[in-house]
Amino acid sequence: MKAIQRARKLVLLLTALTVSTVSADQLRLNVGLWPGELDPELEGRLLLDDLVEPTSRIDLAWSNKDTTTVYPLGLQYFKPMGPGQLVLTANYIRYAPEYSFNGISTGSVALVTLEDFATTDWELEAGYEIPLVGNKLFITPRLGFRWHTQEFNYDELTIGSPSAISLDSPFSGNARGSYIAVGGRFYLMPQIALYVDFMTTSIFPNFGGSMEFEQTVLQTDGVLRYDRAESSYQVEFSRYTLGIQYDINKNAYIQIGIREEVQKTSYPGYYNLAIRTDSSGVNSTVDEIISDIVFWDFQDQTQTKGFAYFAFSYGIDI
């Protein structure tokens, strides 16, 4: 009789341990690569800007748009709750293409580099994973918050007549706001799943912040070009992901597929304290202020990020 009771207690203990393991909280590390181009929204604005300078210049297409981004780079926390599980996510993203372009004007060629260019995104998400179709389909709606920054230093060297050189000319913009997202996995085979994900700021109109851009360029003909611009910094984005996930085991998987983000940027309330010391004096300064409002305040520009991606994820039960 005692042996039977001991056996029953052992079975109950093993069952409890099994249930605890199956429903344990999990901490997951996600690491991936997201190569592709970061098509700059500033290219069109600077092209138009330089066309109306006192020394008019035509900017050629930008180079070095390729960037290999480490994304995802972050942590996820899973907590079983009801029929599904709570999912908390934190991600870090950084794009750092080495943009440069040449400009041509009468008698001179400009060599321009956007030194130390980088856009950085910090993302925080909360979602709930819902199992469906006998645990073959998993849907995870999420609410997210992103803090976005963009920084660089404008560097110009113009060779010819007139020649020119830039002094310290920093750009700094930051915006923050919310987005919604939904992801899904559908298992085609026990270890192979189709993975889809979509994120957008479309229902949140207040994704914004501020921007400052200062430029100082000295020309050998005595002309000083000085700009001190400030504005709001509004960002909208949508991102889609389509890939295949292979589960190595219950704690690790790899993904491969395509991912692209389209970002629209605007600068509401753009104002530039523009100084031009050419022969037309005040007229050039007024023209620059007006054209900047047209090219920056009244125009939305889009940029695209990435294409293919690869990701690895490993989780530990806690």
> In this structure, is residue 1 part of a structural domain?
no
How many domains are there within the chain?
1
241-283 pLDDT per residue, tens: 999 999 999 899 999 999 999 999 989 888 888 887 876 556 6
Residue 4, domain member (yes or no): no
Whether 139 is in a domain gets the answer yes
Residues in the chain: 318
- CA-only gyration radius of the chain, Å: 26
Residue 3 scores a pLDDT above 70: no
d(CA 295, CA 49): 7
| In a domain? residue 16 | no
Phi, psi of 198 (to 5 degrees): -145, 135
- pLDDT tens-digit profile of 11-49? 444 344 334 334 689 999 999 999 888 888 889 888 888
Query: Does residue 7 register a pLDDT over 70?
Result: no
pLDDT at res. 279: 66
Beta carbons within 10 angstroms of residue 4's beta carbon: 8
Cβ–Cβ contacts within 10 Å for residue 78, how many? 20
Across the range 98-115, mean pLDDT stands at 94
Question: What Cα–Cα distance (Å) separates residue 284 from each residue in 116, 188, 230, 279, 291?
Answer: 31, 65, 20, 9, 10
Tell whether 8 is covered by a domain: no
Residue 295 placed within a domain: yes
Could you give the count of Cα atoms lying within 13 Å of 16 in the half-sphere of its Cβ? 6
In this prediction, residue 223 has a pLDDT band, given cuts at 50, 70 and 90, of: confident
pLDDT at 280: 59
Q: Which domain holds residue 283?
A: 26-317
- Asked whether residue 7 is assigned to any structural domain, the reply reads no
Does residue 222 form part of some domain? yes
CATH number, residue 101: 2.40.128
Quote the CA–CA distance of 61 and 44 in Å, as a whole number.
Answer: 9
